[in-house]
Amino acid sequence: MRYVIKYSYDGSHFNGFQRLKDKESVQSTLESALTILNKKQVLIKGSGRTDVGVHANASVAHFDLDIPIPKDHLIYSLNRIVHPYIHILECQEASDDFHARFSVKEKKYVYKIWCGAYDPKKYDYYLMYDKKISLKRLRECAKIFVGCHDFHNFVSGERENSNGTIYQIKVKKRKNVVEIMFRGKSFYRYMVRNLVGAMLLYNEGKCAIIELKKMLEKDYHKQMATAPANGLYLEGVYYE
């Protein structure tokens, strides 16, 4: 029987999502817990991979169990095992053709920037930023990236296809926190962090709009800054 879970996790306590030999990851932690409940090895498929230090407020994964377990009992039992840095929010039964990664229609990420006095307790959860932030400049930059583009200059590693669509980028500030929200499809490795890095360089006057526009051209190659992982959150995964 196939199940789908929605869950959150504190990425500062894991070596990213993907299963790694001899290192604790979100995937391996969930798989170990499910294997205990299923009494046979369980492998999960996530909606995507997050890097070391990246957090999730609502990630999604699917898996198959050999024995049927009531959804409420599954949530309760999983949370007892994966506590305290992973928390299962929801659980549903799914059809056999559902795939947590390939069925995705849209994802939402939020990047959080702390602009107040340095606070070591916030270090794992925000980019500590000690420069003046112009919301106007961040929004000017955001307009360039919205739409269908070739994001090859904002992706880590070689890919045959770096085309993607960003539906919306929204910048807001509340007290000492600036949040940059990205909605779209086909986010690739480091893509959101590289986009934020470029936006902050533009904020600081270290690059021009015309240069950022050229970085979306297929035959133009340039790398800019990558924002740290600790400020990034996978905020939602949507299938309809």
Catalytic positions, written as ranges: 51
160, 46, 7, 82: CA torsion to nearest 10: -130
Asked if residue 105 lies in contact with residue 240, where contact means CB atoms within 8 angstroms, the answer is yes
Q: Which residue from 237, 165, 233, 155 is spatially nearest to 195, judged by alpha carbons?
A: 155
Residues 128/131/136/142 CA torsion (nearest 10 deg):
-50
Exposure string for 185-205, b = 16+ CB within 10 A, e = fewer: eebbebbbbbbbbbbbbbbee
